Structure 1
Amino acid sequence: MTASTTTPVTGLIADNVIGFARALRAAGIPVGPGAVIDALKALRLIEIGSRADVFTTLEAIFVKRHEHALIFAQAFDLFFRAAEDWKHMLDSVPLPEHAKKKPPPASRRVQEALSQPRTSEVPQAQEQDLKLSVSDKEVLQKKDFAQMSAAEIAEVTRAIAEMKLPQAELRTRRYQPDPRGLRLDMRRTLRGSLRTGGDIIDIHRLGRIDKPAPIVALLDISGSMSEYTRLFLHFLHAITDARKRVSVFLFGTRLTNVTRALRARDPDEALASCSSTVEDWAGGTRIATSLHTFNKLWGRRVLGQGAIVLLISDGLEREADAKLAFEMDRLHRSCRRLIWLNPLLRYGGFEAKAQGIKMMLPHVDEFRPVHNLSSIQGLIEALSSVPPPHHRSLIRSAA
């Protein structure tokens, strides 16, 4: 079946393209009305019966960023495979090579976007927005990350993006031109005086350079933390996207540096890259061994210039001995501030009874819960103001 260059694309094909564009917007790809019109015009020039040609044409129009290609491929396969009219047009047409691969990391997001009911009634849409803005937001503030769906994760991600992410700045030893600085810039002052023969001298000053404090995250990915690992990675991805000086390490039975993998713009692609890099996901826990590897191989590289360390773990160590206390003390002495984020603090009656927790607790500056939006908001406020080194303020309240 071939479309004419003069016959406009109408009917079921046009409806499918419009519906497909709506699904892409729901999945996170910005598709405007102009792109839909361009797609309908482009479909006149290709062979409609070729699924590969249609895929390539729509991808060239709708996909503007590299990170959106995975979402588009998954959405294209799910949307047009479910359309009965498309099945009749593409009967016995082989799938392209990309469709035979493993579903991309955005498959869950795309499936929920396609499963949303379509309605054109304005009052219902307004009622849904009203519920989301009042009651749903209140629920999300206190809801555990482990109990959230993909739609709720998207809402949490947008809420984190709207928060004031940590921007605490540390004063370095370097100087830069500053009219309000307290140090005299002798070189620039004398150079400026040469232009006037020394008659008029403009005093130039220098001020200290302030840089954002580096953040180093050590995330426990053992089996006991599996319900929270994915959401913590979403939070770390949001921080990495807003800041440049962020290093992320995952540990279970071994330590893995996923800083580069987490810098992908799309969160699903970043998390998929992290999971493919790590070999001990949802396995055992060897905190002492992992901390020893970090202190030996990475401590000098990433803990300079007043770094803040976020240790995200439940502290349930398999081999809790003096080695764990030694490595925690070494980590504490190497950084400016060590914050332990423990999801077990969500329980009001939490007590440090495990041997590993007892050994780790004396070597941290803050002990915080991090299992919902309220606790993350408290963490962001704490990171936005950097206290003096080794400031002791153990926070045990479960938000």
Structure 2
Amino acid sequence: MPEFLPLEIPDAPKLTHNIIWFARALRKAGLPIGPGRVIDAVRAVEVAGFSSKADFYWTLHACFVSRPEHRTVFAQVFRLYWRDPRFLEHMMSMMLPAVRGVQEERAGQAAEKRAAEALLDGADQALPEGGDQEEQGTSIDIDASMTMSNEEKLRTLDFEQMSTDEIAQAKRMLARLKLPVQPIVSRRTRHDPSGAGIDWQATMRQSMRQGGDLSGFVRKSRRLRWPNLVVICDISGSMSQYSRMVLHFLHAVANQKGAGWAKVYGFTFGTRLTNISRHLATKDVDAALAAAGAEAQDWEGGTRIGDCLHSFNRDWSRRVMGQGAVVLLITDGLDRGSPEDLAKAMQRLNMSSRRLIWLNPLLRWEGFAAKAQGIRAMLPYVDRFQAGHSIASIEALAEALARPDEVGEKSRLLQDIQ
């Protein structure tokens, strides 16, 4: 719930016009808002009154927010629009590039850039009443989204700080990425005329059919098998945007031909574990993620990593972890449960998998240290620990799979713990 300040509305207000402008900003930021909802919002505000900002916030929230993932965007747009009568000047400061390595006066909040972009869209044509000409003229001088190569910028830009258009472009880039995997050499063999080994049993059977004459050797080679890919994704409030982008990439991997994976399984967790594997087979990515989101009812809720991993080990491990499965665990490691139980669940998960790779978006911060008890409990049982906050970090997965000896940031953090 946002921090409420004394309510201020743009100068010489017409409340209906400002609610309409606010609804337009929400729609630009990605919320499905039509004229019917705007009319309902105006009528609801008339009924609820206008004496308390908290009442006003929750009245508009009830009219405009229908999905858990929209709460953060709504909160940011509301805070930025209704906070200051001269809101446009404030919006301009929010449009500064949020590129890694650039230090700002304060850390950008979730969905803030999308909220700022939504409020600025069309501002030079249709400012709400109270916006002056000086603000109107300033808006055409700033274009933070085009200050550098879009593709290079997006590769390293934090998912949480992307605008709506940048998210759409990032999704297209993720859809083009591949995650190939090397096959596993099995102990079983197959008939192969050019194989390096000799099949002595088959050679003797062939000799017996020819009266004991040995006319040649029957050759064989090792069979190749392909591992499963299992992705366990945290969808709690702190991980929501990162999880959506990773799931978008996972859908592309699941539908790639010839990538090498035997099967791709997806699980989400917050307060409970949900299997979304069947939705990943849907060719339409939007339909797939919408169905997955509808089934996972705990988007942006709390986090119980230990309990959910225990449920996975008990109910799903034997079904999906065959063929030397590779496990991608996407979470920030901030758990509410017992560190001892979390460590036991991680140990079993590690023993069941061929490789366990942990993607943690908190590694985007320079000087990150494993101070949380959940991170300390999980870290010893992963094979690789790396960032998972940008397209570049997702691309690094291919390198991680090709170089099994690389452990990422695990060694450094384990030394800090000890």
Shorter-chain TM range is 0.5 to 0.7
Give structure 2 stretches of 5+ with no counterpart.
Answer: 1-31, 35-65, 68-120, 122-144, 413-418
* Aligned structure 1 segments of 4 or more residues deviating by more than 4 angstroms: 186-200
Corresponding residue of 2:197? 183
Identity %: 48
* Distance (Å, rounded) in 2 between the aligned partners of 1:304 and 1:342: 25
Match of 2:252 among 212, 219, 238: 238
Match of 1:349 among 342, 348, 367: 367
Instruction: Decide whether the 8 Å contact of 2:229 with 2:326 is kept in 1.
Output: yes
Match of 1:259 among 265, 277, 300: 277
1:187 Cα deviation from its structure 2 partner: 5.7
1:223 Cα deviation from its structure 2 partner: 1.0
1:148 Cα deviation from its structure 2 partner: 3.4
**SS at 1:332's partner residue?**
helix
Match of 2:215 among 178, 201, 204: 201
Map 1:26-65; keep pairs closer than 5 Å: none
1:267 Cα deviation from its structure 2 partner: 1.1
* Distance (Å, rounded) in 2 between the aligned partners of 1:265 and 1:239: 11
Corresponding residue of 1:86? none
Corresponding residue of 2:322? 304
* Distance (Å, rounded) in 2 between the aligned partners of 1:255 and 1:181: 45
Match of 1:229 among 240, 243, 255: 243
Corresponding residue of 1:168? 182
- Name the CA shift for 1:187/1:261 in 2 (closer, same or farther; >3 Å): same
* Distance (Å, rounded) in 2 between the aligned partners of 1:385 and 1:176: 28
Corresponding residue of 1:250? 268
Match of 1:281 among 296, 299, 302: 299
Cα shift readout 1:6-42 (whole Å, capped 9, x = no counterpart)? xxxxxxxxxxxxxxxxxxxxxxxxxxxxxxxxxxxxx
1:164 Cα deviation from its structure 2 partner: 4.2
1:293 Cα deviation from its structure 2 partner: 0.5
* Distance (Å, rounded) in 1 between the aligned partners of 2:154 and 2:362: 19
* Distance (Å, rounded) in 2 between the aligned partners of 1:149 and 1:207: 53
Instruction: Decide whether the 8 Å contact of 1:255 with 1:294 is kept in 2.
Output: yes
* Distance (Å, rounded) in 2 between the aligned partners of 1:263 and 1:396: 37
Amino acid at match of 2:382: V
* Distance (Å, rounded) in 2 between the aligned partners of 1:227 and 1:158: 16
Instruction: Decide whether the 8 Å contact of 2:179 with 2:397 is kept in 1.
Output: no
Matched, 1:339 2:357: yes
Cα shift readout 1:206-225 (whole Å, capped 9, x = no counterpart)? 11112222211110011111
Map 1:310-389; keep pairs closer than 5 Å: 310-387=328-405
Task: Return the TM-score normalized by structure 1.
Answer: 0.60
**SS at 1:260's partner residue?**
helix
Matched, 1:139 2:153: yes
* Distance (Å, rounded) in 1 between the aligned partners of 2:195 and 2:171: 40
1:346 Cα deviation from its structure 2 partner: 0.6
Amino acid at match of 2:159: F
1:395 Cα deviation from its structure 2 partner: 4.9
Corresponding residue of 1:92? none
- Name the CA shift for 1:322/1:196 in 2 (closer, same or farther; >3 Å): closer
Cα shift readout 1:66-94 (whole Å, capped 9, x = no counterpart)? xxxxxxxx9xx9xxxxxxxxxxxxxxxxx
**SS at 2:323's partner residue?**
coil
Corresponding residue of 2:45? none
Give structure 1 stretches of 5+ with no counterpart.
Answer: 1-73, 78-101, 104-114, 116-130
Cα shift readout 1:195-237 (whole Å, capped 9, x = no counterpart)? 8777672433111112222211110011111121210111111
Matched, 1:271 2:289: yes
Task: Return the TM-score normalized by structure 2.
Answer: 0.58
- Name the CA shift for 1:248/1:175 in 2 (closer, same or farther; >3 Å): same
Cα shift readout 1:249-278 (whole Å, capped 9, x = no counterpart)? 111111111111111111111101101111
- Name the CA shift for 1:148/1:179 in 2 (closer, same or farther; >3 Å): farther
Map 1:41-120; keep pairs closer than 5 Å: none
* Distance (Å, rounded) in 1 between the aligned partners of 2:326 and 2:194: 29
Cα shift readout 1:151-191 (whole Å, capped 9, x = no counterpart)? 54454344345444222211122222223433323465466
- Name the CA shift for 1:317/1:329 in 2 (closer, same or farther; >3 Å): same
